[in-house]
Every structure is written in structure tokens, then in C-alpha cells.
Structure 1
């Protein structure tokens, strides 16, 4: 950025939902798996639900459920050292 310029930076939860917004509804589960998302433990489930609820779109509520399922799978797959 040039001096004096400003930028808005989205929270990770908002950025992920924005990405989903741009994707056609078909095969959302497949799409999320193809993204090979990492560090899902850093996502705040409450914030995801809040952002999805603001939109009122069923697509976002479904996406949040899928993301949280992926998060749970990731947590089960790895053991903290």
C-alpha cells in the first residue's frame, strides 16, 4: 500500500464466507474439501454462526455446518503434543 492509503482486512471467518458466496451452490461440500483448509482451530464457531445469521442465507448456514464438521474431523485426526 502506498503511504496514506487505507485497507479493510476481513476476519478469517468473514473471508471464508465471502469465498463461499462467490461459489455456485452445487457441490459445496466437495468444494470445501478441495480447498484443503488448514488451521481450522483458529476459526471462531460463534463468529461463523453470527456472520451466517446476518446474511439470512441458507447456503451460509449449511456452509458453517460443513466447515465446523471439517474442523471436528481435523481435531480428531491429530493429537496435540
Structure 2
């Protein structure tokens, strides 16, 4: 069985770790937008917060599935 080695980016960090940081920063910067979008669908504050919380959890759990980090917006809105 072959194991792939993590690809190292600048400063010895793996690209996977860099992608995680990008996802976290994107979520933090856009959390209010995510809530507003969820609220427009459900018209209930608690349900909208649950939707956003679940989307963030799922995004952080599956951030490795992003094929191209430049498509993070599209990727996250699919999760949401």
C-alpha cells in the first residue's frame, strides 16, 4: 500500500495545513453572510444558526476535499 507524503509549502508547513487555515479564515470573514443566507431560507434564527454551525463543522471536517482552494466560495456554499 502506498502512502503519499504531504506536500510541503513555505515555512515547512504542509499544503493541507495551509488549506485548513484558508478555510478557517474564510469562515470567520464570512460568517454573517452565511447566517443571512440561511435565515432567508428558514426564517428562523435558531434554525439558521444550526444550519451555519452544521455547515462549518462539515467544512472543517472535509476541507481536504477542496480540489482547488481558489474555489473555496463555491465549495463552501455547496456545503451550506
TM-score w.r.t. the length of structure 2 is 0.32
When normalised by structure 1's length, the TM-score is 0.32
Higher relative contact order (CA 8 A, sep 6+): 1
Bigger fraction of residues in helix: 2
